[in-house]
Structure 1
Amino acid sequence: MDILESVKMAATTLVANKLRSSLTMLGIMIGNASVIAMVGIGQGAQRLASEQFEALGPNVLFVVPGSQATRNTTLEVPKTLVLEDARAIATQVPSVKEVAPQINTRQLVTYRNKNTNATILGTTSDYLSVRSFDVETGRFITEQDIKRSNQVVMLGPELAKKLFDNQNPIGEQLRIKNLSFQVVGIMKPKGSALGDNPDETVYVPITTVANRIVGRTSPYGLEVTAISLSAKDEDSTGAAKFQVENLLRLRHKINGEDDFTVRSQKDLLTIVNTITSGLTLMLAAIAAISLFVGGIGVMNIMLVSVTERTQEIGLRKAIGAQEQDILIQFIIEAVILSAAGGLFGTMLGVGGISLVSAFSPLKASISPVAVIVAVSVSGGIGLFFGVVPARRAAKLDPIVALRSA
C-alpha cells in the first residue's frame, strides 16, 4: 500500500473519533508543554540570577566570617571579622580600590503611628561605590557621621514610601530601638536580589549601629557582618582575593582552617548557575514523566482501536492487504496522535512562557533545543508505543477476525 494512502486512511479514522483522539493527545500535549515551559522558566531564573550578580560589578569581592564548612554546619554565624580587618585591607592590599564593612541587624522602625521591621545596615561612605548604589535625594553617610556616631539614616525608596507616603522624609525624625534618627537621604531604587531587598533597608553609620543599636559583641574589636570590597579592575580580582586571604590569615594567626571566606562575584555566579541548572534539569525530568504517561495512553487507545476494528482488519487482509500494510497504518495513526499532541503542546508551552515573561521578573525564553527534543520525543513515543498494537493488528488471522465480527 502507498504510504500517502496509509496516512489518509489513518487521518480519516482519527477524525472519525474526534473525542477519543483529542483525549489521547491530551497527555502528550501536557507533557510537551510542561517540558518546554519548565526549561524556559529555569533558563529565565538562571538569566535573572546572572544579571543580578553582574550588577554587583565584575571586580567586587565579599569577605564573610567563618569558613564555608563552618557556615554550613552551624546556625550561629561566627564572629571572626572586625572593623580593623577592613581598615587593614584598605591600607595594606595594593590591588584593592575601596572597602565597605557592614553590620546587619533587624529592628523596629517607627515614624509617628507607622512602624515596620526593617533591615538596618551600618556601613561607611565607600558602600555606594563598592556596591554601585546611588542616592536619589539628600546625601549618604559621611566620614564625619562615622567619627561622631551621628544618628542619621538613609532610607531605601520602598521603605520611605511605606513610612512617609508622599511626604518628603528629608529632615524628618524616625525611631529605631527607642532612639531618634534624622532622615538625610533617600536611595535610588535597586530592586530585590536573592531574598535581599535594599529598597526596604535603612542605612546608618557603622559606628552608630555598633555603639547604639547592637553593641560590641566581639572581644577583638568592632564586629562586622561582612566586608565588601572592589578591586582596582577586573583583572586584579584574582590578585586581590589572594592578597586579602593572606593578610587575614596573618592578622588572625591562622595555621589550619580559615575562619573567614572570600568570594568573588564569579564564584557566587557559578554557585547559582549550578543550582539553577540542577533545578531546571529536575523540573524537565519531572515534566517528561507526563510524556511517558501520554505514550501509555496512546498505546492503550490503539489497543482498543485494534479490538474495535477487528472486522475491518480481517476484511482488508482477506482482500489482499499484507501484514506490513496493516502494521504501517496503525503505526502512522499512533505517530499522528503523538505528533499532533506534540505540536499543540509546543504552542501551549510557548504561550505559557510568554505569560511568565510578561507578568513576572523572570525573563523566560523559548529554548529551540527543548522544543526540538520535546516534539521529537513525542513523535518517538508514538512510534514506540504504537508498535505493540500495530503488530497485534498485523498478526490477526483474517478468518478469525471475520468470525469474531
Structure 2
Amino acid sequence: MDTWESFKMAGKTLAANRLRSTLTMLGIIIGNASVILMVGVGQGAQKYASQQFQSLGTDVIFVITGTDNARRNVIAPPNRLVLADADAIAEQVPTVRSVAPQINGSELAIAGNNTKRATLIGTTDSYAIVRNAEVGSGRFLSNDDIKRNARVVTLGAAIAKELFPQGNPIGQLIRIRGTSYEVIGLMSEKGAFLGTNQDDTIFMPITTMTNQLTGRTSPYGVAIQVINVSATSNDNVDAAQFQIANLLRLRHRSTDMNAEDTFTIRTQQDALEIVGNITGALTILLAAIAGISLLVGGIGIMNIMLVSVTERTQEIGLRKAIGASPSDILTQFTIEAVILSLLGGAIGTGIGISGVLLLSVVTPLQAGISIGAIALAVGVSGGIGLFFGIFPARQAARLDPIVALRSI
C-alpha cells in the first residue's frame, strides 16, 4: 500500500469518529494556543516596558544618592548628593547637555473642597528637557521662578483633574502645608510607569521647595535625591557616565580615594537591559508552562490510539489476512496520530493568533505574533504526535492476524 492510500484511509477513519478525534486533538489545540498566546504576552510586555523607558529619553542618566547597600539602611538613609554637585556636573562635564536636580516629597494638596495626596517634585526648568516631559497648557517652571523662589506649581494631568474637576486650573491657587501656590501649567498625560502614575505629580521650583518645605538637610548644601542628566547624544552616554562618576568621586573623597562611592549612576540602557532580562525570563517560563499542555495532549493521543487499536482488532486482522504488511499497519496508525497532532496544532495556532490580536486591542500591550513561536509550537505538536503515535502503531502492526480474526 502506498503512502497516499494510507493518508486517505487514515482520513476516512478519523472522519468516521469525529467526536473521538476532536477530543483527542483538544489537548494539542489548548497547548498550541497557550504557547503562542503566552509568548505574545511576554513579547508585548517587553515592548511596552521598552517604550515606557524610551519615553523618558534614551540619553538620560540618573545619578542617585547613596549606593544600593546604603539605601537598604532604613534607620539612617543616605543623603549625600547636594545641589552643588548638580551645578558642578553642568559646568564641568563636556558630554552633558542638561542637568536637572530633583527633590522628592509627598504632600497633601488642597484646592477649595478638594484634597489629594500627590508626589511633589522640586526641580529646575531643565527637568522638562531632560525627562522629555511635555506641557499641555500654560508653562513649566522657568529659571526666573527658581531665582525668585516663586510660589508656583505645574500640575500633572491626573492631579489637576482631582483638584479642579470643574474647570481650568491655570491661574488658580492650591495650598500645601498652609501656603498658597499659583498653578502656572498643566502637563500632558503620560500614564503610569513602573507602578507610579506620572500624571499624579506636582512640580515646584527646587528653591521654593527647599525654603518652604524641606529646609537645608545637609551640612554641605541643599540635599537632593536624584540628579537627572541628559548626554549630548546617545553615543556619549557612556562617556558622560564615566566623567560624572570621576567628578563626583573627586568632590566626595577629599582624602580617602579607596572609600566607597556615595552615589549610584544608572542609565536608560541599564534599565532596559534589566527589564528585558526579567520579561524574557517570564516569557520563557510562561511558554514552558503552556508547553506542558502539549505534553498532556500527546499522552492523550497515545491513550486514544491504544484504545483505537483494541477497538479495531478485527479490521487489523482482516487487512493482514488479505495481504497488508506490518509496515502498512504501522504507517496508517502513525499517519493518523500525526494528522491529529498537526490538525490540532493548526487550530490551536489560529486560536492563539486570534487571542494575541484581541489582547493588542483591549490592553496597552502591543502583543506580537512570533513566527518562531508558531513554528516551534506546530513542529513540537507534530513531533509529539509522531512520538506518542509510534507505540500504538507498533502494537497494531504486531497483532497476530489469526488471533485478530478469532474475535470476529
Superposition TM-score tier, normalisation by shorter sequence: over 0.9
Alignment of 1:376 with 2:379, yes or no, is: yes
User: Which deviates more from structure 2 when the two are superposed, residues 100-109 or residues 337-346?
Assistant: 100-109
Q: Distance in 1 between matches of 2:297 and 2:278?
A: 29
CA drift at 1:130:
1.0
Give CA-to-partner distance per residue, 1:98-126, whole Å, 9 cap, x none. 11011122222222222222211111111
C-alpha distance 138-25 of structure 1, shift in aligned 2 (>3 A):
same
Regions of 4+ moved over 6 Å:
none
Q: Distance in 1 between matches of 2:291 and 2:218?
A: 53
User: Which deviates more from structure 2 when the two are superposed, residues 299-308 or residues 61-70?
Assistant: 61-70
Q: Distance in 1 between matches of 2:115 and 2:151?
A: 18
Give CA-to-partner distance per residue, 1:214-261, whole Å, 9 cap, x none. 444434332212110112222322221111001111111152332211
Q: Which residue of 2 aligns with 1:332?
A: 335
List aligned pairs for 1:109-128, cutoff 5 A.
109-128=109-128
Tell me which amino acid in the other structure corresponds to 1:292. Answer: L
Tell me the TM-score normalised to structure 1 length.
0.95
CA contact (8 A) 2:7 2:335 kept: yes
Give CA-to-partner distance per residue, 1:342-386, whole Å, 9 cap, x none. 001000110011011111111111111111111111111000010
Q: Which residue of 1 aligns with 2:95?
A: 95
CA drift at 1:69:
4.5
Q: Which residue of 2 aligns with 1:262?
A: 265
Q: Distance in 2 between matches of 1:220 and 1:255?
A: 21
Q: Which residue of 2 aligns with 1:394?
A: 397
Tell me which amino acid in the other structure corresponds to 1:122. Answer: G
Q: Which residue of 2 aligns with 1:104?
A: 104
User: Which deviates more from structure 2 when the two are superposed, residues 50-59 or residues 20-29?
Assistant: 50-59
CA RMSD of superposed structures (Å): 1.8
Q: Which residue of 1 aligns with 2:295?
A: 292
Q: Distance in 2 between matches of 1:25 and 1:216?
A: 70
CA drift at 1:153:
1.1
C-alpha distance 99-339 of structure 1, shift in aligned 2 (>3 A):
same
User: Which deviates more from structure 2 when the two are superposed, residues 178-187 or residues 324-333?
Assistant: 178-187
Alignment of 1:37 with 2:40, yes or no, is: no
Tell me which amino acid in the other structure corresponds to 1:39. Answer: V
List aligned pairs for 1:123-202, cutoff 5 A.
123-202=123-202
SS in 1 for 2:109: strand
Unaligned residue ranges in structure 2 (runs of 5+): none
Q: Distance in 2 between matches of 1:114 and 1:310?
A: 81
CA drift at 1:290:
0.9
Q: Which residue of 2 aligns with 1:346?
A: 349
**Which of residues 360, 378, 383 in structure 2 aligns to 1:357?**
360
Unaligned residue ranges in structure 1 (runs of 5+): none
Tell me the TM-score normalised to structure 2 length.
0.94
Q: Distance in 1 between matches of 2:70 and 2:386?
A: 54
Give CA-to-partner distance per residue, 1:75-108, whole Å, 9 cap, x none. 5753222212111111221221211011122222
User: Which deviates more from structure 2 when the two are superposed, residues 311-320 or residues 28-37?
Assistant: 311-320
Q: Distance in 2 between matches of 1:311 and 1:318?
A: 10
Work out the number of aligned pairs and report it.
404
Give CA-to-partner distance per residue, 1:153-211, whole Å, 9 cap, x none. 11112221222124011111122233322211111222332223322211111122233
User: Which deviates more from structure 2 when the two are superposed, residues 59-68 or residues 386-395?
Assistant: 59-68
User: Kindly, what percent of the aligned residue pairs are identical?
Assistant: 59
Q: Distance in 2 between matches of 1:92 and 1:35?
A: 53
CA contact (8 A) 2:56 2:133 kept: no
CA contact (8 A) 2:66 2:262 kept: yes
CA contact (8 A) 2:316 2:401 kept: yes
Q: Distance in 2 between matches of 1:219 and 1:287?
A: 57
User: Which deviates more from structure 2 when the two are superposed, residues 88-97 or residues 327-336?
Assistant: 88-97
CA drift at 1:67:
2.4
Q: Distance in 2 between matches of 1:319 and 1:214?
A: 97
SS in 2 for 1:199: coil
Tell me which amino acid in the other structure corresponds to 1:139. Answer: R
Q: Distance in 1 between matches of 2:22 and 2:78?
A: 60
Tell me which amino acid in the other structure corresponds to 2:290. Answer: A
Q: Which residue of 1 aligns with 2:78?
A: 78
C-alpha distance 278-69 of structure 1, shift in aligned 2 (>3 A):
farther
Tell me which amino acid in the other structure corresponds to 1:392. Answer: Q
Q: Distance in 1 between matches of 2:106 and 2:26?
A: 50
CA contact (8 A) 2:359 2:365 kept: yes
C-alpha distance 291-177 of structure 1, shift in aligned 2 (>3 A):
farther
Give CA-to-partner distance per residue, 1:264-312, whole Å, 9 cap, x none. 2222212221111111111111111111111111111111111111121
User: Which deviates more from structure 2 when the two are superposed, residues 264-273 or residues 350-359?
Assistant: 264-273
User: Which deviates more from structure 2 when the two are superposed, residues 301-310 or residues 341-350?
Assistant: 301-310
